[in-house]
């Protein structure tokens, strides 16, 4: 018997432990075409903190903001290309362009940030307002995780926040109710500000490219992006990555291990408006970079592992384990705040191949191999 | 309806063309996603999202004949994203084999040593994400190396080297396990 047969057999047995749910095709059709009679999507809380935070932001901004700056006239008949089939009565108010003073876009996830788009004012804003006013005719049920929020500052001092859910759907809130609206037009208008990060922001993946070394940077985008590599603020490489089938991919050269802590990968929209920054990863595990970290560096000397980083958890607390395989060599709770530097002592020293695992609550956030030492 | 015809019809906006593609690929996609995510819920989400992306982006597929690797690339990307969104979960637990599991295997595979198959299952579960992904594509979806390169957007040479490393990692895990058993 060959290894290949064994591996094939093992993979088949593992995979055959699950079976297609009966309603999956209908769920797909429902989501894609707005058809079907069954539940559109299995609701799952997902990353609880992110949903909670996003909901709170939307709730707070809109509860205080949406009522004053909006015209309450009944909606005009829908003329856009929205394809929502909901029969829910139209409840979203019409937005009056003259009341919008500025637009701010912020996005969550790895490389989160915020930009004021005053430079594109006023040409882009009417497109958003027009698309919004048409799209409000298509409220949908359900809530996904919004990653990008677009805040329109109104002359009255109040704010309207729109959260992009994906390339077709936007969430907003009215009278305390969070609703989704389906509108490729509105999503596209918002994307004109936020570039490639509108579809799936924060999911830009940075992986170690094996074979020739370096990094593979990829993410969702319908437009080309610029991917740059900087070390200590100095540009090392700049690549324009075309978007193919909704994704861009860029290959970056490797940098010296000593430069890793100072390295930064920057993904920029071609219009320069959207910018996402990542620390250069020192581990293939960072291909699945935890969104609860902005940056983490791990190094070791003798029997001490030193961890430095910045997290997005409010209290910055993680359980940390130093492990080799399934053997836990040391475990302790650490608090990583901005600029924090914590040390974990490993009795008996740190063997080759050791890793540092980070847990929040009960889930593993990230596992980093200890690849460089003082 | 052939696969190419279904793809062409889907590109023209024929919604009924989704069903034959779903029938052909959904099960394999779900199992591929499961092997990557190690989570049934995340795998279901990934397949749902993958098909929705297929519908939305089918117009960007230039050659209908290239649908298979293109589709698996979407499945892999959505599976990774789904795993990320559901929290990074690493399941090292692999249930025991029983006779019913062997129905998944060809007669030739079913004649293999159950103990060895079980050991390999445990080792695959312990691989890191990148290695488990390439092993899944190679040995479960049985894509060619060229198709895997397309699916992962990496050069064919990298497929070979990554496969080599994944097999090496598997062998190390199996050797460690054997050492533990014998000691």
- Residue A258 structure tokens: 């000593």
Residue with tokens 């009924």, as numbered in its chain: B16
Residue A285 to residue B112, Cβ atoms within 8 A: no
Residue ranges of A 123-162 with Cβ closer than 8 A to chain B? 145
Cα→Cα distances A244→B47, B59, B62, Å: 20, 11, 11
Sign of CA dihedral A310, A313, A319, A324: negative
Q: Are B140 and B56 in a shared domain?
A: no
Residue B56 to residue A167, Cβ atoms within 8 A: yes
Cα→Cα distances A99→A121, A131, A133, A154, A193, Å: 13, 16, 14, 5, 19
Residues of B in contact with A211 (CB under 8 A): 155, 157-158, 161-162
Rounded distance between C-alpha atoms, residue A169 and residue A95, angstroms: 18
Q: Are B131 and B182 in a shared domain?
A: yes
Whole-number pLDDT of residue A342 = 86
| A113-116 and A169-174 strand pairing | unpaired
Report yes or no on B149 lying in a domain.
yes
Q: Are B112 and B153 in a shared domain?
A: yes
First to last CA, chain A: 46
Q: How many domains does chain B have?
A: 2
Q: Are B60 and B115 in a shared domain?
A: no
Q: Which of B98, B85, B13 is nearest to B44 (CA)?
A: B85
Report yes or no on B2 lying in a domain.
yes
Range of the domain at B119: 105-183
Whole-number pLDDT of residue B20 = 92
Residues of B in contact with A167 (CB under 8 A): 56
Buried b (16+ CB within 10 A) or exposed e, A312-349: bbeebebbbbbbeeeeebbeeebebeeeeebebebeee
Residue B34 to residue A15, Cβ atoms within 8 A: yes
Q: Which of B80, B78, B71 is nearest to B6 (CA)?
A: B71
Report yes or no on B23 lying in a domain.
yes
Q: Are B121 and B172 in a shared domain?
A: yes
Beta-carbon contacts of A91 under 8 Å, excluding residues fewer than 6 positions away, are A139, A174, A175, A177, A179
Q: Is any Cβ of chain B less than 8 angstroms from the Cβ of A14?
A: yes
Residue B111, domain CATH: 1.10.10.10
The per-residue pLDDT string of chain A (374 residues; one tens digit each, 9 = 90 and over) reads 567 777 887 777 776 767 788 778 888 887 777 643 332 332 222 232 233 223 333 332 232 222 222 322 222 222 222 333 333 333 455 656 566 666 665 544 333 344 444 333 445 566 666 666 655 544 433 333 444 566 666 666 666 677 766 666 677 665 555 666 676 767 666 655 543 333 333 345 565 554 444 677 776 666 778 888 888 888 888 988 887 766 677 888 766 656 767 788 887 766 555 566 666 765 433 333 455 666 666 777 788 888 877 777 777 788 888 888 778 888 888 888 776 788 899 888 888 778 787 776 655 566 666 655 54
Report yes or no on B96 lying in a domain.
no
Q: Which of A227, A350, A360, A205 is nearest to A286 (CA)?
A: A205
Cα→Cα distances A1→A4, A133, B111, Å: 8, 66, 9
Q: Are B65 and B118 in a shared domain?
A: no
Rounded distance between C-alpha atoms, residue A168 and residue B74, angstroms: 18
Burial class (CB in 10 A: 0-12, 13-18, 19+), B56: middle
Picking from B90, B118, B147, the residue at the C-terminal end of a domain is: B90
Q: Residue A163 forms beta bridges with which residues? A: A149, A171
Q: Are B68 and B122 in a shared domain?
A: no
Residue A185 in contact with residue A169, Cβ under 8 Å? no
| A340-345 and A139-140 strand pairing | unpaired
Report yes or no on B44 lying in a domain.
yes
Question: Counting one residue from A and one from B, how many pairs have CB atoms under 8 Å apart?
Answer: 184
Picking from B66, B90, B114, the residue at the C-terminal end of a domain is: B90
Cα→Cα distances A22→A148, B23, B26, B44, B45, Å: 33, 12, 11, 11, 14
- Partner residue opposite A200 with nearest CB, options B81, B102, B120: B81
Residues of B in contact with A364 (CB under 8 A): 87-90
Q: Are B71 and B133 in a shared domain?
A: no
Residues of B in contact with A42 (CB under 8 A): 41, 44-45
Residues of B in contact with A47 (CB under 8 A): 85-87
Whole-number pLDDT of residue B22 = 93
Which of B18, B24, B100, B104 best probes binding to A when mutated, by most A CB atoms within 10 angstroms?
Answer: B104
Q: Which of A323, A328, A333, A327 is nearest to A359 (CA)?
A: A333
Rounded distance between C-alpha atoms, residue B95 and residue B90, angstroms: 15
Report yes or no on B58 lying in a domain.
yes
Q: Are B76 and B115 in a shared domain?
A: no
Q: Are B110 and B183 in a shared domain?
A: yes
Cα nearest neighbour of B155 on chain A:
A211
Report yes or no on B99 lying in a domain.
no
Q: Are B12 and B71 in a shared domain?
A: yes
Residue B86, domain CATH: 1.10.1740.10
Q: Are B116 and B167 in a shared domain?
A: yes
Picking from B31, B66, B90, the residue at the C-terminal end of a domain is: B90
- Residue A288 structure tokens: 């699945």
Question: What is the side-by-side order of every strand in the sheet holding A327-335?
Answer: A327-335, A317-324, A355-360, A363-369
Residue B124 in contact with residue A11, Cβ under 8 Å? yes
The ipTM of this complex is: 0.81
Whole-number pLDDT of residue A79 = 28
Residue with tokens 């690549």, as numbered in its chain: A239
Q: What is the mean pLDDT for each group of 10 consecutive residues in chain B (183 residues)?
A: 87 86 90 80 83 84 83 85 56 53 68 75 82 85 81 83 90 72 40
Report yes or no on B97 lying in a domain.
no
Helices then strands, counting H and E runs in chain A, come out as 5, 24
């Amino acid at each position: 018997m060959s290894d290949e047969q064994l591996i094939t057999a093992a993979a088949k047995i593992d995979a055959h432990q699950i079976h297609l749910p009966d309603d999956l095709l209908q769920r797909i059709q429902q989501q894609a075409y707005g058809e079907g009679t069954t539940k559109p999507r299995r609701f799952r809380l997902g990353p609880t903190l992110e949903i909670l935070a996003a909901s709170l932001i939307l709730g707070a901004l809109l509860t205080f903001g949406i009522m004053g700056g909006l015209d309450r006239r009944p909606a005009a008949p829908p003329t856009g290309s929205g394809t929502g089939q909901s029969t829910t009565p139209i409840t979203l108010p019409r937005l009056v362009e003259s009341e919008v003073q500025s637009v701010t876009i912020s996005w969550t996830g790895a490389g989160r940030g915020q930009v004021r788009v005053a430079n594109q004012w006023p040409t882009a804003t009417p497109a958003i307002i027009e698309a919004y006013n048409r799209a409000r005719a298509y409220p949908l049920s359900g809530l996904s995780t919004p990653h990008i929020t677009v805040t329109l500052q109104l002359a009255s001092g109040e704010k309207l926040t729109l959260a992009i859910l994906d390339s077709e759907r936007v969430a907003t809130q009215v009278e305390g109710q969070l609703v989704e609206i389906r509108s490729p037009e509105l999503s596209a208008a918002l994307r004109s500000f936020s570039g490639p990060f509108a579809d799936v922001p924060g999911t830009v993946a940075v992986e170690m490219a094996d074979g020739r070394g370096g990094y593979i940077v990829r993410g969702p985008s319908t437009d080309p992006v610029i991917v740059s590599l900087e070390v200590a603020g100095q540009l090392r490489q700049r690549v324009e990555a075309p978007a193919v089938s909704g994704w861009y991919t860029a290959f970056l050269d490797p940098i010296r291990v000593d430069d890793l802590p100072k390295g930064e990968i920057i993904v920029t929209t071609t219009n320069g408006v959207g910018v996402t920054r990542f620390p250069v990863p020192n581990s293939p595990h960072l291909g699945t970079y935890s969104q609860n970290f902005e940056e983490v560096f791990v190094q070791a000397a003798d029997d001490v592992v030193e961890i430095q980083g910045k997290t997005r958890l409010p209290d910055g607390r993680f359980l940390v384990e130093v492990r080799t395989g399934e053997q836990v060599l040391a475990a302790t709770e650490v608090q990583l705040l901005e600029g924090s530097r914590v040390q974990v002592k490993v009795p008996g020293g740190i063997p080759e191949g050791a890793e540092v695992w980070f847990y929040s609550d009960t889930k593993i956030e990230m596992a980093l191999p200890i690849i460089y030492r003082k | 309806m052939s696969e190419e015809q279904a793809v062409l019809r889907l590109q023209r906006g024929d919604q009924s063309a989704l069903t034959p593609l779903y029938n052909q690929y959904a099960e394999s996609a779900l199992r591929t996603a499961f092997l990557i995510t190690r989570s049934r819920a995340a795998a279901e989400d990934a397949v749902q999202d993958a098909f929705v992306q297929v519908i939305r982006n089918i117009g960007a597929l230039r050659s209908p004949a290239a649908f298979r690797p293109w589709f698996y690339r979407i499945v892999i990307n959505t599976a990774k994203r789904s795993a990320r969104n559901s929290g990074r979960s690493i399941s090292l637990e692999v249930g025991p084999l029983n006779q019913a599991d062997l129905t998944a295997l060809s007669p030739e595979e079913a004649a293999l040593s159950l103990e060895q198959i079980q050991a390999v299952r445990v080792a695959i579960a312990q691989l890191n994400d990148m290695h488990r992904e390439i092993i899944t594509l190679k040995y479960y979806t049985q894509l060619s190396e060229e198709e895997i390169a397309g699916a992962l957007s990496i050069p064919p040479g990298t497929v070979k080297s990554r496969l080599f490393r994944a097999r090496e990692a598997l062998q190390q895990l199996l050797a460690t396990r054997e050492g533990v058993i014998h000691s």
